[in-house]
Amino acid sequence: MASKKKGPVEKIALQCTECKRKNYTTSKNKRNIQGKLELKKYCKFDRKHTVHKETKIK
């Protein structure tokens, strides 16, 4: 069984603000970025660039 790595880097999902689907996963360093991450990414369901916000991976 794999051990869980503890530290400042955590895995997050990026959720589209328009269609509410989780399209991307990435990692973020909690020491460098304190707030929620917001990026403008391409949503394949809306077929346009939209704002994606950080959510937790279940």
Which run of H or E residues covers position 39? Answer: strand 38-43
Mean pLDDT, consecutive 10-residue segments, the chain of 58 residues? 75 96 95 94 96 94
Domain ranges of the chain: 9-55
Task: Return the pLDDT at 21.
Answer: 96
Amino acid at 13: A
Report pLDDT for 43.
96
Q: What are phi and psi of 39, to 5 degrees?
A: -130, 150
Distance separating alpha carbons of residues 33 and 50, to the nearest angstrom: 21
Q: Considering the entire predicted model, what is its pTM?
A: 0.81
pLDDT attached to residue 1: 58
Determine the topology of domain 9-55 in CATH.
Rubrerythrin, domain 2 (2.20.28)
